[in-house]
Structure 1
Amino acid sequence: MEGITVIDHPLVQHKLTIMRDKETSTASFRGLLREISTLLCYEVTRNLQLTTVRIETPMTTIDAPTLEGKKLVFASILRAGNGLLEGMLDLVPAARVAHVGIYRDHETLQPVEYYFKAPEDLADRLVIVVDPMLATANSAIAAIEKLKERGARNIRFLCLLAAPEGIERFRAAHPDVEIFTAAIDSHLNEKGYIVPGLGDAGDRMYGTK
């Protein structure tokens, strides 16, 4: 599918299978989400631009590769996005962080915004938006619209699972934003949940249901 990368690394798929299991405990789910987010972060940042810097090793002076440009921004769609955020910050601790508070109304399935806080100069940074699920895509679309209003131009979206319906809506709304996901599942059910999915990621991560 155009504009979408499926991260099919064996370790990602193995950990995702354990997370899907309804018998997996809250503590295990939370730990696995942190682990898998680090692996996903490797892939979503694979083609970052590099420059060189002159350093001295214990043996000699070399021009060594280093990241070019300003620090990344990880934009977490609250609350479940924080599960991915933590593992990504383990890998890129210098990244800036944006928080976008959006929840899905369970009756209308439409996004409701309640919080937004982001670094300045988003136009000069790569912004990676994170949320475990791309289901109806309403929350993701709204979050990215808000980030674009604040000047973000270079945006990628990272999730664990995506539904075909969500991908279609997302790509129609933001064709310039590439999607990275560990799996594309079958479909959405009548309540807007991904099938086979893994349930509500936020509830499973925090033990709230």
Structure 2
Amino acid sequence: MQGASTRETTGAAPVTVVSHPLVQHKLTLMRDKARSTKGFRQLLNEIGTLLAYEVTRDLPLEPIEVETPLVTMQGVQIAGKKLVLAPILRAGIGFLDGMLSLVPSARVAHVGLYRDPDSLQAVEYYFKAPSDLADRTVLVLDPMLATANSAIAAVDRLKERGARDLRIVCLIAAPEGLAKFRGAHPDVPVWTAAIDSHLDEHGYIIPGLGDAGDRMYGTR
């Protein structure tokens, strides 16, 4: 297995499968149904850091002059305004601390959505975001891209607020969800650690890892 990411494109924005050995190892540990709530949460946090490294790989840089203890030199820094991390509540919060450990100055938006158990549609109950989304790169965080209804609703809402540069970061994606998301938002690239087999009749990813929110918080 290669450590670098692999990219698959079909006319829309790319889907990047992060094949780094540490990501794949930690994902396998998370799939184990015997993994404790504490262990699951810790692994999700760690994978969040690793995925943040991959999804920010192409951020633009600009030159800056710095003075070292010995000389003045030309260095570089990230250009433009700081990132926005936009976790979809509640499971997306599991990525947040790991990503903030890498980019501690990032702004944080919160998108509160729950999945109606009958229709499987996303229902919004909370939204709060910085006012200048149009000037920032927004990372939308949700461990599971299953039906994609929540991801589509979150991106719809963020675009309504002016966001133009958006990226989806997830742990596991289903082919059905990827197809649906890319049909709705072909301009938004996706980063994921795995593309699993399919969705079952209840909209869960197979083989997946169960309900990420329940496993994070010990709820059923």
TM-score category (smaller protein): over 0.9
Mapping 1:1-209, distance limit 5 Å = 1-2=8-9, 3-209=14-220
CA distance in 2, matches of 1:192, 1:117: 27
CA distance in 2, matches of 1:195, 1:59: 57
Match of 1:101, SS? strand
Match of 2:109, SS? strand
CA displacement, residues 62-119 of structure 1 (integer Å, 9 cap, x when unaligned): 0111110000000010000000111101110000000000010111101000000000
- Residue identity opposite 1:109 in structure 2: L
Question: By how many angstroms is 1:52 displaced?
Answer: 1.3
CA distance in 1, matches of 2:168, 2:121: 19
Question: By how many angstroms is 1:58 displaced?
Answer: 1.1
CA distance in 2, matches of 1:197, 1:86: 23
Match of 1:62, SS? strand
Question: By how many angstroms is 1:59 displaced?
Answer: 1.4
CA displacement, residues 7-59 of structure 1 (integer Å, 9 cap, x when unaligned): 00000000000000000000000000000110000000000000111111111
CA distance in 2, matches of 1:103, 1:22: 23
Instruction: Tell me the matched-pair count.
Output: 209
CA distance in 1, matches of 2:204, 2:61: 39
Report % sequence identity: 68
Provide structure 1 residue ranges, at least 5 long, that are not aligned to the other structure.
none
| TM-score between both structures, scaled by the size of structure 2 | 0.94
Counterpart of 2:5 in structure 1 is none
When the two chains are superposed, the root-mean-square deviation of aligned CA atoms in Å is: 0.5
Moved over 4 A (4+): none
